[in-house]
């Protein structure tokens, strides 16, 4: 079941990625409109994934939350620092909760939280201004959003990296990575005012200054290469939300 879903997803994504690879895939501009389907979810689970952006199978890494929860690599990947991507998903469901052979249409109707009309109206207005005549027509596009505020994000390594001892917060060594054509990166302040979208290269520190509503999905990459190479390292990721809710998960990779 998982392999079939992976292959279906890869076919769709390769059409979008147009043969992209490496640190910065080049995506073609949208040639047709989109019909946004807003999907609010509670933050009940966090998933962390490490991917090699130079691997053709990394196309899976650019798809929605569903596929990343179902497709969880068992082996430690070996990756060059410039091709290492770290993805975090905040979700309301687990792989065990999802029936076999479901698609995005199922996920657009299930495991949803109550809608926030204020947030959705602002996103709709933004997309309408960006897409003009192409807004509200064409293919359905899932737009995920969450409603809880993000208090802190820490990324720690169990080995010495960047000259820092194990257990040091290395979040300043990562920056946001964005994918054109996807709309799960809206940036809201804690009072639910739309600021815009997360910018390419934004630091975690700058992101947290907005006291933002937490992202549904986010991708990080290293700002620079560590000198301690090669290194097999475990990254421990912790995200704290408003109300004291904290999520922790780890992922191991080999930096070469």
Could you tell me the pLDDT band of residue 64, with boundaries at 50, 70 and 90?
Answer: very low
pLDDT at position 33: 67
pLDDT at position 73: 57
The pTM for the full model equals 0.79
Q: What is the mean pLDDT of residues 53-71?
A: 52
pLDDT at position 246: 98
Could you tell me the pLDDT band of residue 254, with boundaries at 50, 70 and 90?
Answer: very high
Is 237:251 a contact under the CB 8 Å cutoff?
Answer: yes
Could you tell me the pLDDT band of residue 13, with boundaries at 50, 70 and 90?
Answer: very low
Q: According to the 3-state scheme, what is the secondary structure of the chain?
A: CHHHHHHHHHHHHHHHHCCCCCCCCCCCCCCCCEEEEEEECCCCEEEEEEEECCCHHHHHHHCCHHHHHHCCCCCCEEECHHHEEEEEEEECCCHHHCCCCCCHHHHCCCCCCCCCHHHHHHHHHHHHHHHHHHECCCEEEEEEECCCEEEEEEEEECCCECCECCCCECHHHEEEECCCCCCCCEEEECCCCEEEECCCCCEHHHHHHCCEECCCEEEEEECCCCCCCCEEEEEEEEEEEHHHCEEEEEEEEEEC
Name the residue with higher pLDDT: 207 or 129: 207
Residues 21-59 have pLDDT tens digits of 334 433 334 445 678 899 999 999 998 988 887 765 554
Q: What is the mean pLDDT of residues 123-145?
A: 84
Whole-number average pLDDT of the chain: 81
């Amino acid at each position: 079941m998982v392999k079939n879903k992976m292959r279906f997803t890869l076919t769709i994504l390769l059409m979008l990625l147009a043969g992209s690879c490496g640190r910065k895939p080049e995506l073609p501009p949208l040639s047709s409109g989109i019909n946004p389907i807003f999907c609010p979810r509670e933050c009940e689970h966090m998933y962390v994934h490490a991917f090699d952006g130079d691997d053709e199978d990394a196309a899976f890494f650019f798809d929605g939350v569903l596929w990343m929860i179902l497709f969880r690599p068992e082996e430690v990947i070996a990756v060059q620092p410039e091709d290492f991507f770290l993805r975090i998903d905040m979700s309301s469901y687990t792989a065990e909760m999802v029936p076999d052979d479901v698609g995005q249409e199922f996920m657009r109707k299930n495991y949803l939280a109550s809608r926030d009309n204020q947030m959705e109206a602002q996103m709709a207005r933004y997309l309408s201004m960006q897409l003009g005549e192409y807004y509200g027509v064409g293919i359905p596009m899932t737009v995920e959003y969450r409603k809880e505020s993000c208090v802190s994000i820490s990324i720690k390594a169990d080995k010495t990296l960047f000259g820092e001892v194990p257990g040091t917060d290395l979040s300043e060594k990562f920056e946001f990575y964005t994918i054109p054509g996807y709309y799960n990166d809206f940036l809201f302040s804690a009072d639910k005012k739309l600021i815009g979208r997360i910018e390419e290269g934004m630091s975690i520190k700058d992101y947290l200054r907005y006291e933002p509503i937490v992202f549904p999905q986010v991708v990080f990459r290293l700002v620079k290469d560590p000198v301690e190479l090669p290194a097999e390292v475990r990254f421990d990721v912790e995200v704290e939300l408003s109300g004291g809710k904290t999520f922790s998960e780890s992922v191991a990779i080999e930096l070469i």
